[in-house]
């Protein structure tokens, strides 16, 4: 898992800004405070280079200097990130792309996020015709018996997967046979395509939406149904390809410009 800067974006680097961001990212990745010398060593810079930037970050309230002359993050970044709901931002970024998918694929689609111990539908778009299989916004769905659930489990780290299952009181002895192998296949191919365990005649097509660090932040799912009254409607492989493209586009919208997420 890496974050790469493309060559064009790298031409316009702002060294002072990069230095400040390097410090914030370093402090965010450790549980303890660091001295000025330790920060300089970790970033391969001289203490004098780091001093002025640390002073500005302390004065702006992003970094705290304690009595032992060591530095750690304050909660200011946390506060800024919560001034606007991250769910609302995700929905606003994703909805135009999901609408385009629904229009081209002539299928409904919905976006699912993890909310503590449950998976929750946060937005849903119907296809253009009269016939749709849709799910209400706010619905809570299963982890081990849905396409969205399989996506979350497949793209989670082993530790995250254990926590997710434990939150639903699930352990190795209660999991469906073959689930681990199935999740490995989903991770390798990058999507899930499975018959619905809730509705006959429906195939759940699901793809991940990845954040800037390659972590899964949502699942995009199409409850695909074959149209018998319209022979020129996109078939399931074509619909899956469009859904994968939509998932990539949403991932790009939630990833800062110039960065590429790698699972």
Q: What is the pLDDT of residues 3-51, one digit of tens each?
A: 444 555 566 677 888 889 999 999 988 888 999 999 999 999 988 889 9
* DSSP for 9-74, written as a single string: HHTT--HHHHHHHHHHHHHHT-SS-EEHHHHHHHTT--HHHHHHHHHHHHHTTSEEE-TTSEEEE-
Whole-number pLDDT of residue 172: 60
Whole-number pLDDT of residue 260: 47
- 113 pLDDT higher than 60: yes
Stretch 248-256: mean pLDDT: 85
Whole-number pLDDT of residue 263: 45
Of residues 86, 149, 164, the one with CA closest to residue 112: 149
What is the pTM assigned to this prediction? 0.68
Domains of the chain (ranges plus CATH)? 7-80 (1.10.10.10), 86-253 (3.30.450.40)
Of residues 178, 150, 176, 182, the one with CA closest to residue 164: 150
Please provide the average confidence, as pLDDT, over all residues in the chain: 86
Percent of the chain residues topping a pLDDT of 90:
50
Stretch 150-168: mean pLDDT: 86
Exposure on the CB side of residue 120, measured as CA atoms within 13 A: 10
Whole-number pLDDT of residue 184: 93
Q: Give the pLDDT band (50/70/90) at residue 258.
A: very low
Which token pair is 127? 């296809």
| Residue pair 244/222 in contact by the 8 Å Cβ criterion | no
Q: Give the pLDDT band (50/70/90) at residue 103.
A: very high
- 197 pLDDT higher than 90: no
Stretch 237-257: mean pLDDT: 90
Q: What is the pLDDT of residues 124-150, one digit of tens each?
A: 999 887 777 888 899 998 888 899 999
């Amino acid at each position: 898992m890496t974050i790469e800067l493309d060559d064009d974006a790298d031409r316009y680097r702002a060294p002072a800004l990069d230095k400040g961001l390097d410090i914030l990212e370093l402090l965010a990745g450790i549980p303890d405070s660091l001295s000025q010398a330790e920060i300089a060593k970790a970033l391969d810079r001289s203490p004098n280079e780091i001093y002025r930037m640390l002073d500005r970050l302390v004065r702006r309230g992003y970094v705290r200097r304690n009595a032992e002359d060591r530095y750690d993050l304050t909660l200011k970044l946390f506060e800024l990130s919560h001034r606007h709901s991250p769910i609302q931002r995700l929905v606003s970024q994703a909805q135009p792309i999901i609408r385009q998918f629904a229009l081209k694929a002539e299928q409904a689609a919905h976006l699912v996020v993890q909310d503590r111990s449950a998976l929750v539908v946060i937005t849903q778009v119907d296809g253009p015709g009269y016939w749709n299989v849709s799910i209400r916004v706010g619905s809570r769905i299963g982890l081990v018996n849905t396409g969205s659930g399989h996506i979350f489990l497949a793209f989670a780290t082993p530790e995250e997967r254990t926590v997710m299952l434990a939150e639903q009181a699930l352990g190795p002895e209660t999991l469906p046979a073959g689930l681990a192998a199935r999740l490995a296949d989903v991770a390798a191919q990058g999507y899930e395509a499975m018959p619905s365990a809730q509705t006959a005649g429906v195939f759940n097509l699901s793809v991940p939406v990845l954040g800037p660090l390659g972590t899964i932040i949502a699942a995009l799912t199409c409850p695909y149904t074959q149209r018998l009254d319209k022979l020129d409607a996109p078939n399931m492989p074509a619909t899956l390809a469009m859904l994968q493209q939509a998932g990539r586009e949403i991932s790009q919208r939630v990833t800062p410009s110039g960065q590429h997420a790698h699972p």
